[in-house]
Amino acid sequence: MRLEFLQQSLNESVNTTKPAGELLSSSDFSFVLLSSMGAAYILIDGQEVISGSPGAGDGKTVKRVIPTVSAGGPPKLEIYGTVAQAYRPRTYGELVPTGPGSIVNGDLEEGHSLQFELGLRGKPLPYLTFDVGGFYFNFEDQIGDITITNENGTFSSTGNVGDARYAGFEAAAELDLLAMINEGAESPYGRFNLYGNITLLDTEFTSGPNKGFVTTYAPGYQFKVGGIYRCKEAVKVGLLGTFVDDSYADANNTLSHFIPSHVVWDLSAEIKVWDGRLGVIAGINNLLDEDYFGEIRDEGIVPAYGRNYYGGLTIKF
C-alpha cells in the first residue's frame, strides 16, 4: 500500500489566448491510496564465480589462476509477478491553453489504471544477466488531445479521451564480454558490457469517441543497444543507440500529429582520479546529428536537439 499526495497551484498573469478577466487562479490538493502486490520464486539458485588459486605449473611458466564457484550470488532463474494500482493526476499544465487554437475542457478527471506484469529473470552464467516479461494494463479516463477541424479552423481539445488498454513484451540482456573470455571471472582488463533492450507495445482505445485508435505517444517498438567499457572504476566509456517506432501525438491519430520513427546514438565518457574523488565527464548526444522530433504540442512540432556536447566535473568530499 502507498499514499500519494499532490499539491499544485497556478496563477496566470499573462495568457494571450484569454481576456484579462478570465485568467486562471486556482489550487488543488489530491490524496490517493494505492495498493500493489508482488511475488517472486527462485527456480534455480545462483552461483558466484570468484578468483581461485593458481593452477599447477612447472616452475618455469606463469601459473594460470583458475576461477572457482561458490554458493550464493543472483538467482540463475527466477519467476516474478506484480499487480498494482496507479493513477494519473490532473495537471494545471493541461488546464491552461498554450496556443490560440487550443481548447481545454473544464471537467478533467484523474486517470486510473490496474497493471499486471509477469516475467523471468536471472543470471544463468557469471557474465550474462537477462530479464524478460509481459505486461498488461487498462487505463480509465485517459487524458489526451483530440484534433478538431471545422469551418473555423483546426483546434486541439484537451480532455478525458476514453479508456484504453496496453499490452506488451519487454526483454533485456547484458553480457560481460571480457568476463566470458576469462571463464566467468572478472577480467584484469576491466569489463566490457554489451547491452540490449527491446519493448514491443500494442495499445488501443477501448471506449469513447476514439475507440479503436492507437493511444498517444505509444510507439510499437523501442530498441536500445550499445556497449559500456569500465576499467577499475576509473574509466567508463559508453555508446548507446535508441531505435523508436512511429506514433501519434493526438488521440484521434491525425496526420498532422504523426511522429515518424527515428534512431539516435549517444556517446559518453567518464574518468575518475584521486581515489575517485575527482571526475571528468563528457559526451555527445545525438552523435549522428539525426533530424527528428518526438513531441507535438498546441504550438506545433517540438524539434529535438541536433548533435550537442556536454562536459563537467564531479567532486566527492
pLDDT of 50 reads: 58
Q: What is the predicted pLDDT for the residue at 48?
A: 61
The pLDDT value given to residue 106? 65
**What is the per-residue pLDDT for 73?**
64
Give me the residue label for grid cell 493513477: 87
CATH (domain of 186)? 2.40.170.20
Domain membership of residue 251 (yes or no) is: yes
Count structural domains, the chain: 1
Backbone angles phi, psi at 214, to 5 degrees: -75, 140
Q: What is the pLDDT of residue 244?
A: 97
Q: According to the model, what pLDDT value does residue 61 have?
A: 46
DSSP single-letter state for residue 215: P
Whether 27 is in a domain gets the answer no
- State the pLDDT at residue 62: 43
Instruction: Name residues whose C-beta falls within 8 Å of residue 3's C-beta, 6 or more positions apart in sequence.
Output: 31, 32, 33, 34
Q: For the whole model, what pTM was predicted?
A: 0.79
The range of the structural domain enclosing residue 216 comes to 34-55+64-315
H or E element in which residue 180 lies:
helix 177-181
C-alpha cell at 313: 566535473
In the prediction, which pLDDT does 142 show?
80
State the 10-residue block means of pLDDT for the chain, 317 residues long. 74 71 69 86 77 50 49 79 85 63 70 92 94 94 76 73 92 96 90 96 91 94 96 93 96 92 97 90 97 87 95 91
Given this model, what pLDDT does residue 74 score?
72
The grid coordinates listed for 210 are: 476514439
Residue 11 lies in a domain: no
Largest CA distance in the chain: 93
Q: Reduce the DSSP state of residue 177 to 3 states and report it.
A: helix
> What pLDDT is recorded for position 283?
97
Domain assignment of residue 274, yes or no = yes
Whether residue 120 contacts residue 133, with contact meaning beta carbons closer than 8 Å, is answered with: yes
